[in-house]
């Protein structure tokens, strides 16, 4: 009985070290999988694909959206542009929000919270952080003064150079409101500071 037990321990030690070796030999290879049916489901799941899907083009379980379609609530939002495509965004994206006082006021409030520490209340790059951070451009000088709205939207979402992305802090609608306000600063037009009791919405980070 004891012998059997010993044998069992030895066998499992050998199996275990064998599995470790297999697992470590190649980082891309998950190694020997024990009862894979337990974690690879038989149905074609969209987010976990093991085998090529023979029914869909490209072999993927997930299908790309049909060309020209826009997901609900995503009108005017660039889902398919990579982070380096600010110039393309500048041509393709238009602000879906109406330019009115409320949107501008909300844009100003959000700008004050998220951008002015670096870019300054006047958009001159002289915020308290901007003075130390260096390289924060003025909105109303040179190339930046003529950046189109889609470009600014893209920079807020994905960042640019030394500026980090703000996509996780402000949702798409809030970004477009900020864009509206930044465009006002590009023209050197700085309205009175936002009222403390502004009706601007709180920030709900979504995508």
Q: How far is CA 1 from CA 4, 5, 6, 10, in A?
A: 5, 6, 9, 14
**Whole-number minimum distance, CB 161 to ligand HEC, in Å?**
2
> How far is the C-alpha of 198 from the C-alpha of 200, rounded, in Å?
5
The answer to the question of residue 147 lying near ligand HEC (CB under 6 A) is yes
Neighbours of 164 (CB within 10 A): 11
The answer to the question of residue 133 lying near ligand HEC (CB under 6 A) is yes
The answer to the question of residue 135 lying near ligand HEC (CB under 6 A) is yes
**Whole-number minimum distance, CB 174 to ligand HEC, in Å?**
9
Among 109, 152, 194, 200, interactor with ligand HEC by CB under 6 A: 152
| C-alpha torsion 63→67→71→76, nearest 10 | 140
Asked if 166 contacts 177 with a C-beta cutoff of 8 angstroms, the reply is no
Among 81, 89, 93, 136, interactor with ligand HEC by CB under 6 A: 136
Place of tokens 């050998």: 14
Piece in contact with ligand HEC (CB under 6 A), picked from 14-22, 54-62, 152-160, 196-204: 152-160
CA-only gyration radius of the chain, Å: 27
Among 105, 107, 120, 137, interactor with ligand HEC by CB under 6 A: 137
> How far is C-alpha 29 from the chain's CA centre?
29
Which positions from 90 through 129 interact with ligand HEC, judged by CB under 6 A? 114-115, 117-119, 129
Overall size of the chain counted in residues: 207
Retrieve residue 43's tokens. Answer: 């149905």
The answer to the question of residue 40 lying near ligand HEC (CB under 6 A) is no
Among 22, 88, 97, 163, interactor with ligand HEC by CB under 6 A: 163
Among 161, 192, 199, 204, interactor with ligand HEC by CB under 6 A: 161
**Whole-number minimum distance, CB 166 to ligand HEC, in Å?**
4
């Amino acid at each position: 009985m004891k012998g059997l037990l010993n044998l069992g321990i030895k066998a499992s030690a050998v199996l275990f070290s064998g599995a470790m070796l297999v697992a470590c030999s190649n980082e891309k290879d998950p190694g020997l999988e024990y009862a894979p049916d337990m974690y690879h489901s038989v149905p074609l799941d969209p987010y976990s694909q093991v085998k090529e899907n023979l029914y869909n083009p490209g072999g993927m379980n997930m299908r790309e959206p049909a060309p020209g379609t826009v997901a609900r609530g995503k009108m005017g939002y660039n889902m398919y542009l990579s982070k380096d495509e600010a110039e393309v965004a500048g041509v393709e994206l238009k602000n879906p929000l109406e330019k009115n006082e409320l949107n501008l006021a909300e844009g100003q409030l959000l700008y004050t919270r998220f951008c002015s520490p670096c870019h300054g209340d006047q958009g001159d790059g002289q915020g308290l952080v901007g003075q130390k951070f260096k390289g924060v451009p003025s909105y109303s000088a040179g190339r930046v003064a003529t950046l189109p709205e889609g470009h600014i939207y893209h920079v807020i979402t994905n960042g640019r150079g030394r500026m980090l992305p703000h996509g996780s802090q402000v949702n798409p609608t809030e970004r477009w409101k900020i864009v509206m306000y930044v465009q006002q600063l590009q023209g050197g037009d700085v309205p009175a500071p936002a009222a403390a009791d502004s009706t601007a919405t709180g920030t709900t980070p979504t995508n």
